[in-house]
Amino acid sequence: MFGIGSDDSNPSFECSAPCNNLGFLQKNNNLEEKISSFKERSSKDLLDNSDRDSRFRRTETDFSNLFARGNWPSYVHYGKYRPINQNYKHCVGILIIKNENIDMLQFLTLDLLPAKNGEEPTMQFLLEVVDILTNYVRKTFDRSTKVLDFHHPHQLLEGMEGFNLELSDQPESLEQILVDCRDTLKYGVRTGHPRFFNQLSTGLDIIGLAGEWLTSTANTNMFTYEIAPVFVLMEQLTLKKMREIIGWPDGEGDGIFSPGGAISNMYSVMTARYKFFPDVKTKGMTAAHRLVLFTSEHSHYSIKKASAALGFGTENLILLSTDERGRVIPADLEAKVIDAKARGCVPMFVNATAGSTVYGKYNIHSQGAWGGGLLMSRKHRHKLSGVERANSVTWNPHKMMGVPLQCSAILVRERGVLSGCNSMCAGYLFQPDKQYDVSYDTGDKAIQCGRHVDIFKFWLMWKAKGTIGFEHHIDKCLDLSHYLYTKIRDREGYQMVFEGEPQHTNVCFWYLPPGIRDMPDGQERRDRLHKVAPKIKALMMESGTTMVGYQPQGDKVNFFRMVISNPAATRSDIDFLTDEIERLGHDL
């Protein structure tokens, strides 16, 4: 079943002396033992990398269409490995011979593990999935590949080249499942592409990707130590490190990872309410006076959602005025607090945005979903000066730090508030008489029961990069935003939304086609300019070359909101974006 060699067409057993040590996929002391082991082991061992040799790196794999083709070759895949040390001239390869008695076109999910004799089809199926994924990853970083292959909803619903989204009553073959995997990626958006600038969360970190694969394989829940011991400890240590970076003494406090910044912001409102009005937990909002909340008029809409969901009512969320650059005016906050008290209301919560979603501005800091990553940078953390005075902080590593979605933390300065606010002491999960320290059963602090393991990919990336690696990434993104700003600031056809250099990687601007530039200010000019960004964005998506966001804000017509968080982006990608905007928008 197995052989080793250095040539695809003529496998041989030649190997240099250094390759006689620990192999990449198995542990053997000499070449003869390797050959014997290859012949005896089944294909499932290809995925057992626990003892692999760090001297070897995979460089070539052809797993294509393992199940999707009717004419089977004499072997189904050939993986080549070469030493990291380039002095080694010979390679060790793996050759898996297809079982000619197996018709893969007839395989169903019922034939995979835990089915009897399901090991071989399971391993071959997973290897084919890995091939689909690695091909996708490789193309994601290829700038000649489109960011997306856009189709309208009705086209995808009607079916594209056999890609059928409808669910079936009868099981489909593994061949079709592999085709579905491939097509799902084909018709999606490559958010890791160096020219994808559409959202705050961009990029594709390979270590983070590996962490997410492992997380799904482990398939556990974060509510108790007994079923997620390593992950629970990772979460506690990582949250403590984040609190230290915020500036809380000795990293004291509490925290938990949540499904996203909106939920983290909701936690912050809940903990504030519990801190001052704990009876609300049992008696409801009737136990409190008329409570009011304050937030910037440019803050994330999740604060408004939290006001509605938690029973405050959106009318009791008071919006604070901002200056021309989107920063809260402190005098307006003071005046509105005084006014609320005069009306018999109780000011309870002030949300201060560290890096607004649109302008990227900084105020008194606590809501750092987008901007919190700048705390990792010695060069830029001064923009969050005073964050250590906040009672709670939202921090989304899946944004500025490039961790794969989802990864958001709510950090609370006072220990015990999260538990007091949310714990219900469910007897079937949180028994007090377990054989270990039950303070590590962190799930009762959450508003969820089941909680996805979001920590491992983040922890693994931190181990791989170190704090210094995150710092370099953030500094690079800020440098790129400065490059874009200086490039278009005085360039013909561009107008900045506000004066002055951006504080974050958000660069907001209008592109003015030649036909608009000489028009006098007035409603007609505004109406035409309002349509420019949407039209250019539509043309971008149709061509698939790049993606960048746009939006109106207050009395400002649609403008481009360029954000940079992708570690793969370079100055040439910024140049490409501006060239593409000018090409697509020239005749509008």
Name the one residue in this structure whose structure tokens are 């945005």.
353
Name the one residue in this structure whose structure tokens are 């035409």.
528
Q: Is the pLDDT of residue 114 over 80?
A: yes
Q: How many Å is the Cα radius of gyration of the chain?
A: 28
Which pLDDT value is given to residue 361?
A: 38
Report which DSSP code applies to 365. Answer: S
**Quick one: what percent of the chain has pLDDT higher than 70?**
80
- Return the structure tokens found at 441: 């059963």
Residue 300 sits at the vertex; the CA angle it makes with 338 and 506, to the nearest 5 degrees, is 115
Give the mean pLDDT of 333-346. Answer: 93
Max CA pair span of the chain: 88
SS3 586: coil
Q: Using 50, 70 and 90 to split pLDDT, how confident is the model at 362?
A: very low
pLDDT in tens, 170-188: 999 999 999 999 999 999 9
Q: Using 50, 70 and 90 to split pLDDT, how confident is the model at 105?
A: low
Which pLDDT value is given to residue 88?
A: 36
Q: Which of 295, 245, 241 is nearest to 272 (CA)?
A: 295
Which pLDDT value is given to residue 427?
A: 87
d(CA 478, CA 484): 10
Q: Using 50, 70 and 90 to split pLDDT, how confident is the model at 431?
A: very high
d(CA 400, CA 373): 5
Question: Residue 515, Cβ neighbours under 10 Å: how many?
Answer: 13
Half-sphere exposure of 451 (CA within 13 A, CB side): 29
Residues with Cβ within 8 Å of 439's Cβ and at least 6 positions away in sequence, in order, are none
Q: Are 400 and 565 in contact (CB under 8 A)?
A: yes
**pLDDT averaged over every residue in the chain:** 84
Give the mean pLDDT of 193-200. Answer: 96
Q: Strand 547-553 and strand 291-296: pairing?
A: unpaired
Q: Are 82 and 88 in contact (CB under 8 A)?
A: yes
Which pLDDT value is given to residue 107?
A: 84
Sign, Cα dihedral of 114, 118, 119, 123: negative
**Quick one: what percent of the chain has pLDDT higher than 90?**
71
Q: Is the pLDDT of residue 38 over 50?
A: no
pLDDT in tens, 8-36: 444 333 333 333 333 333 333 444 454 34
Which pLDDT value is given to residue 366?
A: 64
Q: For the chain, how many residues are written?
A: 588
Q: Using 50, 70 and 90 to split pLDDT, how confident is the model at 53?
A: very low
Give the mean pLDDT of 287-302. Answer: 89
Give the mean pLDDT of 311-335. Answer: 90
Q: Which of 72, 1, 80 is nearest to 43 (CA)?
A: 1
Give the mean pLDDT of 46-64. Answer: 39
Give the mean pLDDT of 313-330. Answer: 89
Which pLDDT value is given to residue 60?
A: 38
Report which DSSP code applies to 82. Answer: E
Which pLDDT value is given to residue 355?
A: 54
Give the mean pLDDT of 558-571. Answer: 97
In DSSP terms, 36 is beta-bridged to none
d(CA 434, CA 229): 14
Q: Are 80 and 161 in contact (CB under 8 A)?
A: no
SS3 560: strand
- Give the lowest-confidence range in 28-37, 451-460, 511-520: 28-37
Give the mean pLDDT of 484-505. Answer: 94
Q: Is the pLDDT of residue 90 over 60?
A: no
Which pLDDT value is given to residue 54?
A: 41
Which pLDDT value is given to residue 332?
A: 93
Domain ranges in the chain are 17-178, 221-460
May I ask the CATH architecture of the domain 221-460?
A: 3-Layer(aba) Sandwich (3.40)
Q: Strand 556-562 and strand 507-511: pairing?
A: antiparallel
Report which DSSP code applies to 569. Answer: -
pLDDT in tens, 58-76: 333 343 444 443 333 333 3
Q: Are 311 and 270 in contact (CB under 8 A)?
A: no
Q: Is the pLDDT of residue 584 over 70?
A: yes
Residues with Cβ within 8 Å of 392's Cβ and at least 6 positions away in sequence, in order, are 267, 268, 271, 272, 366, 410, 411, 412, 413
C-alpha distances out from residue 8 to 80, 221, 230, Å: 9, 43, 41
pLDDT in tens, 237-288: 999 999 999 999 999 999 999 999 999 999 999 999 999 899 999 999 999 8
Q: What is the pTM of this model?
A: 0.82
Question: How far is residue 155 CA from its own chain's centroid?
Answer: 28
Name the one residue in this structure whose structure tokens are 């689909």.
132
Give the mean pLDDT of 525-552. Answer: 97
d(CA 455, CA 464): 14
Which pLDDT value is given to residue 92?
A: 39
Give the mean pLDDT of 144-157. Answer: 96
